[in-house]
Amino acid sequence: MIREELQELAVDIDTLQTHPRNVRQGDIGAISESLKAHGQYRPIVYQASTGYVLAGNHTLKAAQALGWKQVAATAVQCDDTQALRILLADNRSSDLATYDDKELLELLKDVASTNDELLGTLYDGDDLDDMVYKLEGSIGFVAEGQDIASIIEEFADKDTRNLTLPYKQQEISTVKSHLSSLQNKLGIDNWSAIVLRIVKEADESY
């Protein structure tokens, strides 16, 4: 659905093509969710002479996936070389952008407190929890090979809520499997609580 304020820019979707030299990899599913939640709120930009999209290639793909017949789009008069420069600049500008993480966290909290929670933001509760742990609790990094006793000694007197544990790539699936098994056996609803219990029991056995 094109938002009402963009209806005057509506063009048949078949008149546009994704640019054959666009190297950006976008999340079509996420963009589709945004289009369903909010409609199209900014136009696609395309080269007038070719119909190739210069900004909004993945928005076009998402709209096609949703079965839309029209999208809002605006044409740019340019030659092929300038079109490539615009394509590169549009993709690169998002790479160079950063977040003020503290302000982002406050914004997510504000939105999450509404009736619809984080619907349509492309963030979910896990993203919010991760940011809370990252910004509002101390983070400890456990060195490879560090034993449980030294972990307890190092972090016992700190307000550490989150530990990053190193595993080799080939070990990750095994760790996940064991944690899932323990979760079912112990009736504990999250892996952090399982690790905490293991550490406490190991400390008591010393």
Encode pLDDT of 139-166 as tens digits.
Answer: 444 455 555 556 555 555 555 555 556 6
Band of residue 39 on the pLDDT scale cut at 50, 70, 90: very high
Its CATH architecture, for the domain 4-96, is Alpha-Beta Complex (3.90)
Strand 70-76 and strand 160-164: the pairing is unpaired
Confidence of residue 16 (pLDDT cuts 50, 70, 90): very high
The confidence score (pLDDT) of residue 140 equals 47
CA gap 63, 71 in Å, rounded? 7
Q: Which amino acid is at 53?
A: V
Binning pLDDT at 50, 70 and 90, where does residue 72 land?
very high
- For residue 103, give the amino acid letter: E
Rg, Å, the chain Cα set: 24
Domain map (residue ranges) of the chain: 4-96, 99-134, 137-206
The share of the chain scoring above pLDDT 70, in percent, equals: 81
Amino acid at 168: K
Residues 105-118, mean pLDDT to the nearest whole number = 86
pLDDT score at 6 = 95
pTM of the model: 0.64
In sign, the C-alpha dihedral spanning 176, 182, 185, 189 is: negative
- 92 has a pLDDT exceeding 70: yes
Q: DSSP for 21-47, please give it.
A: T------HHHHHHHHHHH-B-S-EEEE
Residue 80 has a pLDDT of 97
pLDDT bracket for residue 59 (50, 70, 90): very high
Q: What is the mean pLDDT of residues 123-150?
A: 66
Does the structure show a pLDDT above 50 at 126? yes
